[in-house]
Amino acid sequence: MKIQLVADSAANVTSQNEMGVVSAALKIVTDKTEYVDNDALDVARMVAELKAYKGKSTTACPSVQEWKEAFGDADMVFGVAITSGLSGSYNAGCIAAREYMEENPGRKAYIVDSRSTGPEMVLLLEKLHELAGAGLSFEEICTAIEEYHKHTRLYYALSSLDNLAKNGRVSPIVAKAVGLLGIRVVGTTTPEGTLHPEHKCRGEKKAMEQMLACMVASGYKGGKVRLTHSCAPEVAEKFFQLLKANWPNADITIGEDRGLCCFYAEEGSFLSAFEHE
């Protein structure tokens, strides 16, 4: 019984991952260049080029065909997509899953709508990996992952909402208040998987304290945390230390945002996905 895990590239998972996750790439598109968010993408270079570029930039989700290519020839496929509240990726993944099952009787495919991005997608993938190794049926895994999802959440500290606003993913009014130097927005997701900015914080230290308070208020009690940063390892490291000071035994890791998350989260931002009660 071959089980394949897949995700779109908003999960920041490259082909070196230990779970065997295959990634379907989103794209970052300007008038000059198309950046494909795969292993080969030089994220730092993309960020530098985009900083110098003054024209329009946008993004595109993987097509139905690209999702299907990621499925390969597995008996069971489980996928995780960036929030359907902001992207067409989940929809494309679902069509791919339906066609995959129609074209290959006996095979099964299921896509989870993360209603989130990046590190929360990683938590879901890690749980799927665990469930896949436990000898459960397809239906049991589908039920178990949706149940687990009720106990995960994402908080973000963003240094700019410019690209989100320019691409219609948050209102320009909300975005403007964050454009000021040193202001970070700390927020989470709505049940529909859109952004819910909660606090404007002056400076990085305040943003971290706020995020910690938000996590505790959401029921974080020392479970797994998956952190990612957009070209700012020192920021993620500081937040990691803050968490470790409070929960020395917690399973916490730091990863890098790849192309899609870096484009929208922007330089200096960090994301924290965690398990809660």
Residues making contact with ligand X90 (CB under 6 A): 26, 59-61, 82-83, 86-89, 116-117, 154, 156, 158, 169, 189, 193, 195, 261, 264-265
Smallest separation, CB 262 to ligand X90 (Å): 9
Which is nearer to ligand X90, 86 or 122 (by Cβ)?
86
Smallest separation, CB 136 to ligand X90 (Å): 28
Smallest separation, CB 107 to ligand X90 (Å): 26
Could you give the C-alpha distances from 192 to 30, 83, 157, 196, 254, in angstroms and in order?
28, 8, 20, 10, 26
Smallest separation, CB 276 to ligand X90 (Å): 16
Which is nearer to ligand X90, 80 or 141 (by Cβ)?
80
Smallest separation, CB 231 to ligand X90 (Å): 13
Which is nearer to ligand X90, 59 or 210 (by Cβ)?
59
* Contact partners, residue 112, CB within 8 Å, separation at least 6: 78, 79, 80, 81, 124, 128, 145, 146, 149
> 251 - beta bridge partners?
none
Tokens (6 digits) for 45: 């270079």
* Contact partners, residue 65, CB within 8 Å, separation at least 6: 96
3-state helix, strand, coil in the chain (%, to 5): 40, 25, 35
Which is nearer to ligand X90, 127 or 169 (by Cβ)?
169
